[in-house]
Amino acid sequence: MQRKKKDVAGQANEDRRSGNRFTTVFQVARVETDAGSEHLCLIRNIGPGGVMLETPVPVETGTRLHIEPKVCAPLKGTVCWVKDKHAGIAFDDPIDVESYLRTARPLPSGQVPRRPRVSAGFQGQLRIGRDWYPVQILDLSQGGAKVEAEIIIEQGVAVELCVERSVSLHAHVRWMRNGQAGLIFVRALSIADLAKWTGPAASGAAAA
């Protein structure tokens, strides 16, 4: 009987150790709170019970999050700890990590995953040749933007998107339809730079 108790205790300890195992992934994800704010973050590692995020935008413990990784299925959870620019998220429901990572969304041959994007909703300026035109920046990702313009822009044209007075992003027009244009940046943005224009304080900064 004594030996049986030890075996049960040993199995429980093993189960706890297994539940604490994490897999390093380094995957960009879009995060949205119940309040509707959204930004990009980096998933550093993932385990059966949660993930650790690196986020340039501060979050508070107890905040509910909807997490959309770049290639995997969305996840829901609650912020359980915060330290510097890192946050631990406890999943609503535990997952099998190996199965979860194996079921990444399939893409056609040769196609790369679309970068996660977040809503912007502020004014910018678009330079075509020597002329500047006002545009509404609808959303942003590390690799591009969607803008609304009152002019027709040719596909493939080189442009410059001004999101702040001192910040301009060189890009090419990928598509144009129904008064909206998709831009591809010549140089990808960092998550931290993107957070300056899409985080909680972005509306004030963009208007400054």
pLDDT at 115: 74
Quick check: do 2-102 and 117-207 share a fold? yes
Burial class from Cβ neighbours inside 10 Å (0-12, 13-18, 19+) for residue 168 reads middle
Model confidence at 137, in pLDDT bands (50, 70, 90)? very high
pLDDT at 117: 82
pLDDT at 102: 84
> pLDDT for 50-88, tens place per residue?
999 999 988 999 999 999 998 889 999 999 999 999 999
Question: In sequence order, what are the residues at sequence separation of 6 or more whose Cβ sits closer than 8 angstroms to the Cβ of residue 130?
Answer: none
Answer whether 175's CB lies under 8 Å from 166's CB.
Answer: no
Angle among Cα 156, 187, 142 to the nearest 5 degrees reads 95
Answer whether 143's CB lies under 8 Å from 185's CB.
Answer: yes
Average per-residue pLDDT for the chain: 83
Give the homologous superfamily in CATH for domain 2-102.
Answer: predicted glycosyltransferase like domains (2.40.10.220)
pLDDT at 37: 87
Token reading at 178: 């129904």
Domain ranges of the chain: 2-102, 117-207
